Amino acid sequence: AVLASNGHDCTLWSRRTEQAEEIAEKHTNEQYLPGAVLPDTLKADHNLARAVSGASIIVMAVPTKGIRKVCRDLNSVLEGPVLFAHVSKGIEPDTHKRISEVMEEELDREICQGIVVLSGPSHAEEVIRNQPTTVTVAAKNTEHARRVQDLFMNQSFRVYTNDDVVGVEIGGALKNIIALAAGVTDGLGYGDNAKAALITRGLAEITRLGVAMGANPLTFSGLSGLGDLIVTCTSVHSRNWRAGNMLGKGKSLDEVLDSMGMVVEGVRTTKAAHQLSKECGVPMPITEALYAVLFEGQKPIDRVELLMGRMKKNETEDLAGWS
Ligand SMILES: NC(=O)c1ccc[n+]([C@@H]2O[C@H](COP(=O)([O-])OP(=O)(O)OC[C@H]3O[C@@H](n4cnc5c(N)ncnc54)[C@H](O)[C@@H]3O)[C@@H](O)[C@H]2O)c1
Ligand SMILES: O=P(O)(O)OC[C@H](O)CO
């Protein structure tokens, strides 16, 4: 919608025929964005080959678990090289790959000019209403990031560039873990102090892992780090927060996921980050606590007690050695 309202010739692909038809004919998407009106000029198609025909840029916005398959499907329908941007927030469990790494692995070299990540505090429910939104784009090639910045920028959607692809992708993925945890503490009936603690100490552990993976620590105080962490931990729009909230109120993970009907990226990402923290030897106590709740059947209240009862620490000790 942002691209179409900026005057670009833009086609949305949906794997579901009825969803593509609703968007193309009625300019609505009632299941995902109830009440929203999409630009008249925005086209939609369920046929992937038709949707990407003649495209110079493709924006990937499918949930993380669908990225590999969609890339493979694109290999067989794209003819010339295009620039890719992605907005997906996750890390693949087991391979521990970031989204751009998965895309690099799957997309044929001849069709992929480059990959740009677009990330930041940007709930679709507000973007579609032209409410002020700021995001970050990062790419290995600065010109590619600037191109995507130019395509998306408008009076209500402000785009910054950043050189740190690793940091931007890691911040966007790991904030979902902390948002789930913030939902859990709200569900348990805790207040703002607990949420502020989670945001602050969550950022510390996101930064620790990110730096171990090669990110610039400064990126985590930017839009794709702290910015997205704040929005996801505090917004009623956040699916990750809502899912955590239900867990905190006593629902099981299966019950929660069944009732959501939309992707909750933080669940798979918790698994990936838990594996990564062990592998890299990076302590991630909040992630570990959430992992135990999601995958080991532990009670949220017991994990809160364990978190609060850990041994004494200095708040800034992790910062030593960062340059
Ligand atoms: N919703 C937001 O405000 C928002 C903002 C920024 C980034 N993101 C990220 O964008 C990605 C997609 O999120 P979303 O909110 O659109 O999710 P969603 O669950 O609301 O919708 C995903 C869409 O993708 C389709 N889909 C699901 N699995 C698919 C697959 N395997 N192949 C092809 N299509 C598939 C669904 O049918 C649906 O149309 C996520 O990684 C999310 O973190 C979302
Ligand atoms: O609704 P969530 O929790 O998946 O968050 C969506 C976006 O990542 C917010 O920037």
Instruction: Give yes or no: residues 13 and 147 share one domain.
Output: yes
Residues 242 and 151 reside in one and the same domain: no
Res. 227: pLDDT tops 70 = yes
- Both 149 and 25 in one domain: the answer is yes
The predicted-structure confidence for 192-217, as pLDDT tens digits, reads as follows: 999 999 999 999 999 999 999 999 99
265 within ligand 1 shell (Cβ under 6 A): yes
Residues 262 and 139 in one domain: no
Measure 109 CA to ligand 2 centroid, in angstroms: 30
Q: Are residues 123 and 154 in the same domain?
A: yes
Do 239 and 156 lie in a common domain? Answer: no
Q: What is the CATH number of the domain that holds 291?
A: 1.10.1040.10
* Mean pLDDT confidence for 160-185: 98
Tell me if 228 CB under 6 Å of ligand 2: yes
Residue 240 CA to residue 244 CA, distance in Å, equals 6
How far, CA to CA in Å, does 242 sit from each of 119, 161, 182, 194?
Answer: 20, 30, 9, 16
Q: Is the pLDDT of residue 322 over 80?
A: no
Domain final position from 165, 189, 208: 165
Q: Note the ligand closest to the C-alpha atom of 17.
A: 1
pLDDT digits (tens, 9 = 90+) for 173-197: 999 999 999 999 999 999 999 999 9
Indicate if 11 and 160 belong to the same structural domain.
Answer: yes
HEC per residue, 105-173: HHCCHHHEEEEEEEECCCCHHHHCCCCCEEEEEEECCHHHHHHHHHHHCCCCEEEEEECCHHHHHHHHH
Would strands 133-139 and 112-119 be described as parallel, antiparallel, or unpaired?
antiparallel
Same domain for 92 and 205, yes or no, is no
Structural domain span for residue 265 = 174-319
Does 239 carry a binding-site annotation?
Answer: yes
Q: Which of 97, 175, 195, 271 is catalytic?
A: 175
CB 157 within 8 A of CB 2: yes
Nearest Cα neighbor of 206 from 181, 234, 241, 186 is 181
Same domain, 10 and 124: yes
Q: For 231-243, what is the mean pLDDT? A: 96
Which CATH number fits the domain that encloses residue 155?
3.40.50.720
Same structural domain, 145 and 209: no
5-19 b/e (C-beta count within 10 Å ≥ 16 → b):
beeeebbbbbeeeeb
Ligand 1 centroid – CA 318 distance (Å): 34
Instruction: Give me the pLDDT at residue 321, please.
Output: 56
What residues contact residue 304 under an 8 Å CB cut-off, 6+ apart?
185, 188, 190, 289
Ligand 2 contact, 60 CB (< 6 A): no
Report whether residue 10 contacts ligand 1, using a CB cutoff of 6 Å. no
Based on the residue annotation, tell me whether 312 is a catalytic residue of this protein: no
What is the whole-number distance in angstroms between the Cα of residue 11 and the centre of ligand 2?
Answer: 23
Quote the ligand 1 centre to 15 CA distance (angstroms): 12
Burial of 115: CB neighbours in 10 Å, binned 0-12, 13-18, 19+: buried
Same domain, 96 and 202: no
The count of domains in the chain is: 2
Cβ–ligand 2 distance for 122 under 6 Å, the answer yes
For the chain, what percent of residues have pLDDT higher than 90? Answer: 96
